[in-house]
A and B are shown apart, each in its own frame.
Chain A
Amino acid sequence: MNILNFLRRVLYALGLPAALVALWWVTSVNSTSYYFPPLPDVLDQFGRLWLAGRFADDVVPSLVRLLTGFLVSAVIGVALGVALGLTDVLRRGAEPVLEFLRALPPTVLVPVIAIVAGIGDGAKILVIVSGCVWPVLLNTVEGVRAADDVMIDTCRTYGITRGARLRHMVLPAAAPQIAAGLRQALSIGLILMVIGEMFAATNGLGFSIVQFQRTFAIPQMWSGIILLGLIGFALSALFTVVEKRVLGWYLGLRESQKRNG
């Protein structure tokens, strides 16, 4: 029975992707269009490019930039978010500026960042941070501000103050909302990783794909796009696994609330 359940879940997860790949394969296999080459050609390039030398040369540097940018955004976003969420004066003072900065599309900042931070990895990471930090920051502020009055009173009566209150109550209570912000940041980060590498870069996925486009290496370009999609999917799946572990209590709480109406 368990094996049957497992098979069913695998079928649900892989059914539609398999169907779409099959559709792509069937409709493209005899393609003579220059821009839409046959899928087998694309997959052939995929194996030759990404599973070989370019993995270390382009994929790894890109992923390192993405993860560094993501982690830096997480730390800054949560730290600043907690400070603003706990201090009303600070938040009200900073809000207009934050709203302004958040409204700037990070893409227009890419050249500016290149001037300020050069064209190295630091600049690429900065591009990612400039976009990723906002969902984390704003969600943390909201999560911290939503802290329950009764819980705050409970902490006060039992002498749970300052650092202990932050660690045992404020952060865990805000964690579900922070996780929602981190998830948004992850997908924004992937986009900005590519965009950052499209300008003044010497390696990385974004750099490679743009290079393929410019040299009309169309199957190679498609293979890069597929790889980006797969990376996005894998990161999201990984995030879900971690989230389920860390926020197990939250999922259980929600379940029990649903059951009890």
Chain B
Amino acid sequence: MTDMVSVKGLNKVYESAGRRVEAIGDITFSVARGEFACIVGPSGAGKTTLLKCLAGLLTPTAGEVLLDGVPVTGPPPGMAVVFQEYGRSLFPWKTVRQNIDLPLRQKKLPRAERDRLVTDSLGAVGLADAGDAYPWQLSGGMQQRVAIARAVAYEPQVLLMDEPFAAVDAQTRADLEDLVRSLWRSLGITTLFVTHDIDEAVYLGERVLVLSASPTCVLDDVPIGLPAERDQVTSRSTSAFAELRTRVHRGIQDAKAGRRTSGAAA
């Protein structure tokens, strides 16, 4: 397997009016083609900073991000991002279909191709009938489904998700987790999923990266050996799940305590 995303010695320092904040110390990792990796860290671990550097929305102070071997200098065309704040990410003046269609128009795809992608992606997220609604007419969970449909229709090489379910209720969250997992299994898009929720990270990922507190480094890299077929009730109650959960949780505790190493990496 070749690396789809590769992060080398990433460092990010915010400087403003004499204040110097080192958000990311030194992050190095890579994600294989088609892999589903979750990134967890305590609050203030620079998760969003890391994601923005990956997405080309922020320029790192040092180090580099490679997408399929090509250095990321700005938002690359092969990357789609699902943000936590769906309400601020979808355009309220456009219908659901128009929201999904706009990035495809920018890609200059022919009309018929765009229509097909929009319809397929809406079907894939279970919103086949909501195309003509405006986002604000839908519930929060449905709006986030639209944002996911937009990302999927864009046919990215890499899908980045920034705590996408932090703002929805627990049951909707479980449904959306299963949706993302099944989309990943059917489409095989390399996925990086940032979350602060340990259970969510273990349940979704094939691998969990645990971040330290700021200035951030990778504290632990946990392979998730659970079967590909996962279920909210049974998967979460297995002993393997509990062990993985404990290991990641310990990593988070170490991070909060300010330690720079943990678990297997220690």
Is there contact, CB below 8 Å, between A158 and B103? yes
Residues of B within 8 A of A (CB-CB), count? 28
Interface range, A side: 20 to 34
Question: Which stretch of B86-94, B241-249, B253-261 is in the interface?
Answer: B86-94
**B80 and chain A: residue at smallest CB distance:** A157
- Residues of B within 8 Å of A17, CB to CB, are none
Q: Which of A126-165 contact B (CB under 8 A)?
A: 148-151, 153-154, 156-161, 164
Question: B116: CB under 8 A from chain A?
Answer: no
Question: A75: CB under 8 A from chain B?
Answer: no
- Residues of B within 8 Å of A257, CB to CB, are 136
Q: Which B residues contact A (CB, under 8 angstroms)?
A: 52, 55-57, 74-75, 77, 79-81, 83, 85, 88-89, 91-94, 102-103, 105-107, 134, 136-137, 150, 154
- Residues of A within 8 Å of B136, CB to CB, are 249, 252-253, 256-257
A-B CB contact pairs (8 Å), 6 listed: A153-B55, A164-B106, A169-B91, A173-B93, A252-B136, A256-B136
Is there contact, CB below 8 Å, between B93 and A159? no
- Residues of A within 8 Å of B81, CB to CB, are 153-154, 157
Is there contact, CB below 8 Å, between A159 and B89? no
Query: How far is it, in angstroms, between the C-alpha of A114 and the C-alpha of B94 when the chains are bound?
Result: 46
Instruction: A154-B83, A168-B102 given; name 11 further pairs at CB < 8 Å.
Output: A149-B88, A151-B91, A153-B55, A153-B57, A157-B79, A158-B150, A159-B106, A160-B106, A161-B106, A168-B91, A256-B137
Question: How far does the Cβ of A243 sit from chain B's closest Cβ, in whole Å?
Answer: 14
Is there contact, CB below 8 Å, between B137 and A159? no
- Residues of A within 8 Å of B154, CB to CB, are 158
Is there contact, CB below 8 Å, between A249 and B106? no
**B55 and chain A: residue at smallest CB distance:** A157
- Residues of B within 8 Å of A150, CB to CB, are 83, 85, 88-89
**B52 and chain A: residue at smallest CB distance:** A153
Question: How far does the Cβ of A144 sit from chain B's closest Cβ, in whole Å?
Answer: 15
Contact partner of A249 among B55, B75, B93, B107, CB < 8 A?
A: B93
In the A-B complex, list the 7 residue pairs whose CB atoms are closest, starting with the nearest: A158-B103, A150-B88, A172-B93, A256-B136, A249-B93, A253-B136, A157-B81
- Residues of B within 8 Å of A253, CB to CB, are 92, 134, 136
Question: How far does the Cβ of A208 sit from chain B's closest Cβ, in whole Å?
Answer: 43
Q: Which A residues contact B (CB, under 8 angstroms)?
A: 148-151, 153-154, 156-161, 164, 168-169, 172-173, 175, 249-250, 252-253, 256-257
Is there contact, CB below 8 Å, between A148 and B88? yes
> Assuming A252-B134, A252-B137, is B83 touching A156 (CB within 8 A)?
no
- Residues of A within 8 Å of B150, CB to CB, are 158
**B76 and chain A: residue at smallest CB distance:** A157
Is there contact, CB below 8 Å, between A158 and B106? yes
Query: How far is it, in angstroms, between the C-alpha of A253 and the C-alpha of B103 when the chains are bound?
Result: 22
> Assuming A151-B88, A153-B83, A252-B136, is B102 touching A160 (CB within 8 A)?
yes
- Residues of A within 8 Å of B52, CB to CB, are 153
Query: How far is it, in angstroms, between the C-alpha of A156 and the C-alpha of B56 when the chains are bound?
Result: 9
Is there contact, CB below 8 Å, between B107 and A159? yes
**A153 and chain B: residue at smallest CB distance:** B57
Is there contact, CB below 8 Å, between A156 and B57? yes
- Residues of B within 8 Å of A250, CB to CB, are 92-93
Question: How far does the Cβ of B197 sit from chain A's closest Cβ, in whole Å?
Answer: 20
Question: How far does the Cβ of B144 sit from chain A's closest Cβ, in whole Å?
Answer: 13
**B98 and chain A: residue at smallest CB distance:** A168
- Residues of A within 8 Å of B80, CB to CB, are 157-158
**A158 and chain B: residue at smallest CB distance:** B103
Interface hub of B57, B80, B92, B94 (most chain A Cβ within 10 A): B92
- Residues of A within 8 Å of B106, CB to CB, are 158-161, 164
- Residues of A within 8 Å of B56, CB to CB, are 156-157
Is there contact, CB below 8 Å, between B134 and A249? yes
Is there contact, CB below 8 Å, between B57 and A159? no
